[in-house]
Amino acid sequence: MIIWFILFFIILFISLVLAYLSMKDYQEIPKLEKEYSTYLIRKPDFLTTQTLSNILDLNRGKLIALERLFKGKSNALVIFGPKILKERFSDLLGLLELEDYTGERNLFTAWEVIKKEEIKNSIFAKFPAILENEKFYWQVLISGDSGQIRAAYSGRNELIPELETFAQPGLTKIPRPMSSSQIFNLYKQRVFTPANAQKISVTEALLLIGLPRI
């Protein structure tokens, strides 16, 4: 009988260790409805290195996502983060709370991106033109001084290779054994995976969303 108890606890211990190892690369997913929200930045010129540093300091320990959204010739900048953003930065950045835009049913191709070298200029200088019915989403997740980059596109398949390489040589697509739907689901949930984290400075974060170095 004692042997069976010992075996039971050994199996239980091994199961807990395996569960921990399977989840250790994933931080807690933000509680979207209660703590976080998405805001349109209507005054992007005021999102400077100092302002972004203040946002990160205020929300230390919380995820922030800066997202550049393209639809045809139009584009917008949004920020996803704790709801205290609206209280503290609404006037400065002209924040407008939005319904989350990622719930749409369009078919998206999604991928992750890695920084190969220091980013010194806005990455969207050579961004290809997309049609009015096409959409491109670009996400820079920030946790502390680390970041993660994802992209998602709904449109012509023949444009995908150009979109995957428009920011080279500074950035490149990460080859991963995950489907587009899996990566887009991570995009929608703003899941930060430390295994793919990379150092991204505040200045680089701004350049990565198409803002000037200010």
Question: How far from 54 is each of 40, 78, 140, 153, 177, CA to CA, in Å?
Answer: 18, 17, 17, 31, 37
Four-CA torsion 186, 189, 190, 193, nearest 10 degrees: -50
Cβ-contact 74, 136 below 8 angstroms: no
Question: How far from 194 is each of 23, 64, 103, 174, 209, CA to CA, in Å?
Answer: 11, 14, 25, 15, 21
What is the helix, strand, coil percentage profile of the chain, to 5?
A: 40, 25, 35
Domain locations in the chain as residue ranges: 30-208
pLDDT, one tens digit for every residue, the chain (214 residues): 555 445 444 443 444 333 334 444 444 455 555 789 999 999 999 999 999 999 999 988 789 999 999 999 999 999 999 999 999 999 999 999 998 888 877 789 999 999 999 998 889 988 999 999 999 999 999 998 899 999 999 999 999 999 999 998 899 999 877 889 999 999 999 999 888 889 999 999 999 999 976 5
